Amino acid sequence: MSHLILIRHGQSEWNLQKRFTGWVDVDLAPKGKLEACKSGELIKEKNIKIDYFFSSIQLRAINTLKLILNTMRIKDNFEKAWELNERHYGALTGLNKDEMKKKLGEKKIHEFRRSWNIKPDPLDKNNPYHPINIEAYKSISKENIPDSESLEDTYNRVIPYYKSNIENKLIKNKNVLVVAHGNSIRSLCKYLFKLNEKKISSLEIPTGNPLIINFDKNNQIIKCKYLDESRAKDLIVF
């Protein structure tokens, strides 16, 4: 049996401010740091040897994983991949979610946030929040840097990376921990649990709460659960 542990980064500074974050490289809020440490404690209690660690290249995911490793007293390298980054929110980036609900209507904002193939208007390349203007993304080829993304776009970069770099390790009975983001994890859940476009729009991913997925020898899911059951979301799959 192999284990895949998926963790959305702890609450970020912009989560706290209710701003559309996407590819803006913000750090963890104090609560997010506590969530990361709690994640480490919960995983440590399971006494599972984790063979591989992955994160996106965004600061809030990297620092969540570093705090988890520190809490577990593990000194190990981990792989960082831009393909695991959060969805790009285009022209909504940096704006307050509540204010935009008042301006555009709750239905439209829900559509932008949860629909499968609808994306916001592109973010102007001169905007300081555009990824081409953020130092953390200088190593990424410009052709791979989006101006805006739908969940479908996010899925189409996350899943090929997962198949090439993570799935093969699970098949070999290795245990893997991935720290990523709400929409990159939603993409993984769509693939793993074979969710349709309607169901994936209802899936919420809590911050800093490890989702452990158990696979049998045929790489079929046999069980899954959030380790912090008091903050678990409805997985709508089991």
Under DSSP, the state recorded for 72 is T
> Which one is catalytic: 3, 9, 130, 181?
9
Q: Measuring CA to CA, which residue among 165, 131, 135, 137 is closest to residue 149?
A: 131
Residue 145, amino acid: I
- How far are the Cα atoms of 57, 126, 152, 213 from residue 188, in angstroms, in the given order? 17, 32, 11, 12
> Which one is catalytic: 86, 88, 149, 167?
86
Check if 86 is active-site. yes
- For residue 172, with 0-12 CB atoms within 10 Å meaning exposed, 13-18 middle and 19 or more buried, which class applies? exposed
Residue 4, amino acid: L
Find out whether 36 and 208 touch, Cβ atoms under 8 Å: yes
Check if 9 is active-site. yes
Q: Measuring CA to CA, which residue among 117, 142, 113 is closest to residue 130?
A: 142
The Cα–Cα gap between 203 and 182 comes to: 10
Catalytic residues: 9, 86
